[in-house]
Amino acid sequence: MASAARALWYASRGKVELRDETLDERRPADALVRMLYSGISRGTERLVFNGLMAAPERERMACPLQDGEFPFPVKYGYCAVGTVEDGPEALAGKTIFTLGPHQDRLLVPTDRVSAVEVPANVPARRAILAANMETALNAVWDSGAGPGDRIVVVGGGVVGLLVTYLVSKLPGADVTLVDLDPARRHFAELFGVRFSKPLDGPGDCDIAFHASATSAGLACALACCGDEATVVELSWFGDSDPAVPLGAGFHAKRLKLISSQVGMVSASRRPRWTYRRRLEKAVALLGDDRLDQLITGEVAFAGLPHELPRILTPGAPGLMTAVKY
């Protein structure tokens, strides 16, 4: 029988609303999920909220369970954690993570969309970080970072902090987190790495990750590099046209600037790793209580239309916001 659900829709520029829906009849391969938490991905969802998803990228940036089309109206989101009420035997009763929108009940086609079990040592609320952890893991693979490297991470948002967390575990790595916000020093100390403001960053790193989504941040990442170092660009700029400072030492130092995007498994792992295997690993990597501190706010699902404009305001304080159902 069909089931009722409520979902958040981006209705028009700067306007969101909850809409009632009727789910399709469940197929044998579908999982009917009762949502526990979803996460608001501030960077991407801010672009969606403001109608700034660039036309050439709209198909690429569509989520697996998205309804509607960019710019509006569109149902968007990809950090969903819930309990399987009905579905394939292997998932029945399990807590799962899937790339789903903000919706209280969700039909997940497990033959087309990854739905991975959340391990017992990862609380459901923390599991909303899985999509961002998957992005961070892919970026570390793309970078080729290894033991003993000097590494800089520019931008202490959720993705930047998860990259910092991963590279801090490399034996002998010398890691510095660079951010304008002095409050981010707390996270550097939490993960046992150095903290620096942009003008004080090191100038001899082997690898720099840029995750601030600003031209100034990219300039900082390039300035932190030693000879023949690599800058890994994780920022998503939407339809903006950032300045890329290719003067100064860019050519003299023979620097490499590469993009990292989670839509494809890193080339170094692609022959062996599927999307599902990567997502399973990302969820498993969340088994550290310190990561709870990256979730700095919580709102009720029913209050999203009121709260989301505040959360997505540029410069709004905080990191990941959990939506509780």
Dist. CA 47–CA 130, nearest whole Å = 20
Dist. CA 272–CA 238, nearest whole Å = 31
153-201: per-residue pLDDT in tens?
Answer: 999 999 999 999 999 999 999 999 999 999 999 999 999 999 999 988 8
Is there a contact between 101 and 82 (Cβ–Cβ < 8 Å)? no
pLDDT at position 60, please? Answer: 85
Decide if pLDDT at 21 tops 70: yes
pLDDT bucket at 238, cuts 50 / 70 / 90: low
Residue 213: both structure tokens together: 């989504």
pLDDT at position 61, please? Answer: 87
Nearest to 14, CA basis, from 41, 42, 39, 50: 50
Amino acid at 91: L
Helix 304-311, helix 42-49: angle, nearest 10: 110
pLDDT at position 199, please? Answer: 85
- DSSP category for residue 2: -
Superfamily per CATH, domain 4-131+273-324: Medium-chain alcohol dehydrogenases, catalytic domain (3.90.180.10)
pLDDT bucket at 1, cuts 50 / 70 / 90: low
Domain ranges of the chain: 4-131+273-324, 145-259
Topology of 145-259 in CATH? Answer: Rossmann fold (3.40.50)
Nearest to 211, CA basis, from 322, 315, 135: 135
* Averaged pLDDT score across all residues of the chain: 95
Tell me the mean pLDDT in the region 132-145: 98
What's the pTM? 0.96
Tell me the mean pLDDT in the region 276-289: 98
